[in-house]
């Protein structure tokens, strides 16, 4: 029986004995830091069962529990809140359990309960950018958190490797590329292809300007520009399987994949399964036919097929064009079904996609439910806000996007600059310094993005993110490194069991904070929110730094206290490392 269950039983008995009233449950919360106590009973919640003054009721229940429950050593009542003080031995014993639990906070994996998390899902006509960074960091962290909560997880992406936008970069390379390759230009393949996507837009605009100068309407010029007509022709050739077009498509896509792999490695994310739009764009059509027979869809006079979602507060949604070709929703229907076929143990899919696609996923999930797929009720759109920089918005086709590789390098450079100013790295080799700069820079970037609720838009300031004070990654990393320094100085066995004679209030606070970690992981998994893990870690570090400033650790008055406080420090460090690991952030042993 855990603490709340034990106290709930005690309060229910107190109410029965004192007021001859049966209640089923009571409302507890953490005691506010400005009051004495460890857990608080909200007396107001009892007033629907017991009539009277909440302070008097709280006092009577407090006296009863203190007399009848060894766990409680004292209490106080503030208005309608009964603050209970728990016996120190409870915390000491609980800490011993925490200290000896490997992977504290994580649950064993239930192999039968699998979740698939989709993230990244880039286009193969340009490099990854700042928006992809939030997408990847968010999807990866959510996958790791769900895994830590006890579920099997598959990380996946669908790569958008076909369509007119892919043909634009292919055509521009063919027309203007002079057979350039990543090797001949010493450019990452995704950057080389992205340059030609920008080149297409530049040349296309010149053609539009020329046609409009000759008297053509702009709307017509956009359709009749020779480059656009050639790109459309190239797409038709690709769909028809033209060998030359397909060969060029494969070559340029491979350049991009090689570039992506480097970026993903730098970013510290990975995938278990890859899906390609070129292989999935025909999926789903068979289910449209089945849905027509079931009455899920209806056909209009022109032969197009629709789903009527007006009863759900939405509108009619096209699922098949009049010429029989699929639209995006058709493909997504087919891909979702295919994934469940490929991974039969999956009963839930999390789609990490920006909030501009909210409507699309509402429609997708509703249609899959209407088609009768039971697992459709477990689909979730992890909708997130965009990332802005102080400089303003980004546009891929105009080449104003903040490149992911460039930003990650900038973060490392900024970490180098600040660390050199602080002068904290005496005795490090250049190789050790460079490794540390990268750990600090990437930690700052990841933490700044993940500490914000996914639904909120972010204004990302690289300089602010890398501060060594406040709610930042480097501040937490520095605390971890500080603890490692303490552990290196400890000249005693940290595996021995000790019972301190007293428990300092700061020690109680730390143990209470550690106790919360398993529940924080479960809540973060349930809410798909890495922000809960990030901000928990910051609170833990604040409590530790307050403890560090208030008590002596290695110079404590007696050996048992010294060992206990060092063990407490070690478990805080272990928990920081575990929590940051869930966020994909490394921690340095020295800093």
Is residue 293's pLDDT more than 70?
Answer: yes
CA distance 330 to 317: 11
Summarised one tens digit per residue, pLDDT across range 137-192 is 999 999 999 999 999 999 999 999 999 999 999 999 999 999 999 999 999 999 99
Which pLDDT band, with edges at 50, 70 and 90, does 3 fall under?
Answer: confident
Q: Are residue 79 and residue 167 in the same domain, yes or no? A: no
pLDDT, mean of residues 535-542? 98
Is residue 393's pLDDT more than 50?
Answer: no
Q: Which of 86, 116, 143 is at the close of a domain?
A: 86
- The residue with tokens 């009973």 is 41
Summarised one tens digit per residue, pLDDT across range 85-118 is 999 999 999 999 999 999 999 999 998 889 999 9
Is residue 33's pLDDT more than 90?
Answer: no
Question: Quick check: is 22 in a domain?
Answer: yes
Q: Which of 86, 117, 132 is at the close of a domain?
A: 86
DSSP 173-214: HHHH-TT--HHHHT--HHHHHHHHHHHHHHHHHHHHHHHHHT
Is residue 232's pLDDT more than 70?
Answer: yes
Distances, alpha carbon 331 to alpha carbons 283, 299, 327, in Å: 5, 18, 7
Question: Quick check: is 64 in a domain?
Answer: yes
Summarised one tens digit per residue, pLDDT across range 539-574 is 999 999 999 999 999 999 899 999 999 999 999 999
Q: Are residue 171 and residue 262 in the same domain, yes or no? A: yes
Query: Angle, to 10 degrees, between the axis of helix 130-148 and the axis of helix 430-450?
Result: 80
CA distance 516 to 494: 23
Is residue 400's pLDDT more than 60?
Answer: no
Average pLDDT for the chain: 94
Res 78: pLDDT: 95
The 10 Å Cβ neighbour count of residue 396 is 18
Res 390: pLDDT: 74
CA distance 519 to 513: 11
Question: Quick check: is 71 in a domain?
Answer: yes
Q: Which of 60, 86, 112 is at the close of a domain?
A: 86
Which pLDDT band, with edges at 50, 70 and 90, does 506 fall under?
Answer: very high
Half-sphere exposure of 573 toward its Cβ, with a 13 Å CA cutoff? 22
Structure tokens at 157: 């992406």
Question: What SS3 state is found at 70?
Answer: coil
Is residue 391's pLDDT more than 80?
Answer: no
CA distance 244 to 247: 5
Res 325: pLDDT: 86
Res 537: pLDDT: 98
Question: Quick check: is 190 in a domain?
Answer: yes
Question: Quick check: is 404 in a domain?
Answer: no
Range of the domain at 40: 3-86
Half-sphere exposure of 571 toward its Cβ, with a 13 Å CA cutoff? 26
Res 395: pLDDT: 45
Which pLDDT band, with edges at 50, 70 and 90, does 398 fall under?
Answer: very low
Is residue 105 within 8 Å of residue 148, measured between CB atoms? yes
Res 394: pLDDT: 41
Res 63: pLDDT: 97
Is residue 397's pLDDT more than 70?
Answer: no
The set of residues, in sequence order, having a beta carbon less than 8 Å from that of 452 and lying 6+ positions away, is 458, 531
Which pLDDT band, with edges at 50, 70 and 90, does 467 fall under?
Answer: confident
Is residue 472 within 8 Å of residue 578, measured between CB atoms? no
DSSP element (H, E) containing 31:
none
Q: What is this structure's pTM?
A: 0.93
Question: Quick check: is 427 in a domain?
Answer: no
Which pLDDT band, with edges at 50, 70 and 90, does 399 fall under?
Answer: very low
Any idea what the CATH number is for the domain that residue 13 is in? Answer: 3.30.1360.70
Question: Quick check: is 520 in a domain?
Answer: no
CA 469, 535, 117, 308 dihedral sign is: negative
Number of domains in the chain: 2
CA distance 304 to 290: 15
Res 1: pLDDT: 58
Could you say which DSSP state residue 87 is in? P
CA distance 511 to 490: 21
CA distance 444 to 533: 15
Question: Quick check: is 471 in a domain?
Answer: no
CA distance 417 to 419: 6
């Amino acid at each position: 029986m855990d603490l709340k269950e034990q106290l709930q039983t005690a309060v229910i008995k107190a109410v029965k004995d004192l007021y001859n009233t049966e209640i089923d449950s009571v409302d507890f919360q953490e005691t506010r830091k400005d009051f004495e106590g460890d857990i608080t009973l909200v007396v107001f919640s009892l007033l629907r069962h017991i009539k009277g003054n909440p302070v008097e009721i709280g006092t009577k229940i407090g006296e009863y529990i203190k007399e009848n429950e060894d766990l409680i050593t004292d209490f106080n009542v503030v208005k309608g809140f009964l603050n209970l003080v728990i016996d120190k031995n409870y915390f000491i014993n609980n800490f011993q359990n925490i200290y000896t639990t490997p992977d504290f906070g994580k649950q064993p994996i239930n192999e039968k309960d699998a979740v698939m998390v989709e993230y990244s899902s880039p286009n193969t006509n340009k490099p990854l950018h700042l928006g992809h960074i939030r997408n990847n960091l968010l999807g990866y962290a959510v996958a790791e958190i769900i895994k830590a909560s006890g579920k099997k997880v598959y990380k996946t992406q669908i790569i958008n490797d076909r369509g007119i936008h892919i043909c634009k970069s292919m055509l521009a390379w063919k027309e203007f590329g002079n057979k350039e390759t990543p090797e001949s230009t010493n450019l990452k393949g995704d950057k080389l292809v992205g340059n030609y996507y920008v080149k297409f837009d530049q040349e296309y605009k010149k053609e539009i300007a020329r046609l409009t100068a000759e008297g053509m309407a702009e709307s017509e010029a956009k359709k009749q520009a020779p480059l656009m007509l050639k790109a459309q022709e190239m797409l038709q050739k690709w769909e028809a399987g033209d060998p030359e077009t397909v060969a060029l498509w494969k070559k340029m896509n491979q350049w991009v994949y090689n570039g992506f792999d480097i970026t993903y490695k730098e970013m510290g994310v990975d995938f278990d399964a890859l899906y390609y739009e070129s292989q999935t764009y025909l999926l789903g059509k068979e289910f449209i036919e089945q849905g027509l027979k079931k009455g899920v869809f209806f056909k209009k006079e022109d032969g197009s097929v629709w789903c009527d979602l007006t009863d759900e507060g939405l509108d009619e949604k096209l699922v098949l064009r009049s010429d029989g070709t699929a639209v995006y929703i058709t493909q997504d229907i087919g891909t979702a079904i295919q994934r469940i076929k490929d991974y039969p143990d999956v009963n839930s899919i999390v789609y990490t996609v920006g909030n501009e696609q909210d409507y699309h996923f509402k429609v997708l999930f509703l249609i899959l439910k209407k088609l009768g797929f039971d697992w459709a009720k477990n689909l979730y759109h992890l909708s997130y806000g965009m990332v802005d920089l102080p400089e303003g918005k980004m546009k891929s086709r105009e080449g104003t996007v903040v490149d992911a590789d460039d930003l990650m390098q900038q973060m490392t450079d900024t970490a180098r600059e600040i660390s050199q100013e602080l002068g904290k790295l005496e005795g490090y080799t250049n190789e050790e310094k460079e490794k540390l700069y990268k750990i600090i820079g990437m930690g700052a970037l990841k933490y700044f993005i993940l500490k914000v609720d996914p639904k909120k838009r972010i204004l990302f300031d690289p300089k602010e993110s890398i501060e060594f004070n406040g709610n930042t990654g480097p501040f937490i990393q520095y605390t971890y490194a500080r603890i490692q320094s303490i552990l290196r100085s400890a000249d005693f066995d940290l595996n021995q069991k000790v019972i301190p004679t007293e428990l300092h209030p700061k020690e109680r606070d730390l143990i209470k904070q550690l106790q919360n970690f398993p529940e924080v992981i479960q809540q973060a998994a349930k809410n798909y929110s890495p922000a809960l893990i990030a901000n928990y870690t910051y609170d833990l570090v604040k409590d530790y730094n307050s403890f560090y400033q208030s008590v002596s650790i290695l110079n404590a008055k007696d050996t048992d206290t010294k060992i206990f406080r060092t063990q407490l420090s070690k478990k805080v460090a272990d928990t920081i490392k575990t929590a940051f690991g869930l966020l994909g952030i490394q921690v340095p042993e020295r800093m």
